Amino acid sequence: MRPSELLDRQSQDRIVEAVRGAEQTTSGEIVVAVLRACDDYAAAGWVCGAGLAAIALLGLSLFAPPMPASLYLAAQVAAVLAGHALVRLDAVRRAFVSERAMQHRAERRAAAAFAELGLRHTERKTGILILVALFEHRVVVLADSGINEALQPGESWAEVVALVLDGIEAGRPTEGIIDAVRRCGEILSHPLPAVPGNRDEIRRELVLED
């Protein structure tokens, strides 16, 4: 599903307002990014196609009368093409991508987005990204050094991640993201409270990547 389909304009506006509200309580600079996928996983098509080609060859060998080699080859080519077509469906493509690969791609994309959105250049190193990867079913919270150093020992972003995932699973993605943003603000409000004259260094509160 595309982020723009998951979050309509009203939902997007609500998330932006939640980010602005959270930033009134902390000097942290919060950005939410919702991505359709962190990679195109092109290899999934070849894996699926190769599997279908093997099945086609085995089936023809066992159950069809002897045929010219060119027909066997044509059947395998058709199977490979069918595999590439099938993996256009997210549910099928996920079956051919490992959980480890999806986690790695989500973390790598979060690191890239953190830099692309300018979160590494805040004055007090207080940038924080909540990245939601829809295809991978992953949420990555990435914070700059100023935030990580302010957290209490043993404190993590697991609760923020869970709020987003629970909201999406329950069919309430907007509420899940908003709850996560608010919780992020609550976590940061004590170690990194808002200071007089604190300016908004990052102007893009919400990024959608279809």
Do residues 120 and 161 share a domain?
A: yes
What CATH code is carried by the domain that includes residue 130? 3.10.310.50
Domain identity same for 26 and 52: no
Cα dihedral 100/104/109/110 (nearest 10): 100
Cα(159)–Cα(163) distance, integer angstroms: 6
Encoded tokens for 200: 């908004």
Tell me: the pLDDT tens digits for 160-196? Answer: 999 999 999 999 999 999 999 999 999 888 888 887 7
Question: Same domain for 51 and 154?
Answer: no
Asked whether the beta carbons of 37 and 133 are under 8 A apart, the reply is: yes
Q: What is the domain extent for residue 48?
A: 43-95
Structurally, the chain folds into a number of domains equal to: 2
pLDDT tens across 1-47, in order? 899 999 999 999 999 999 999 999 998 899 999 999 999 999 999 99
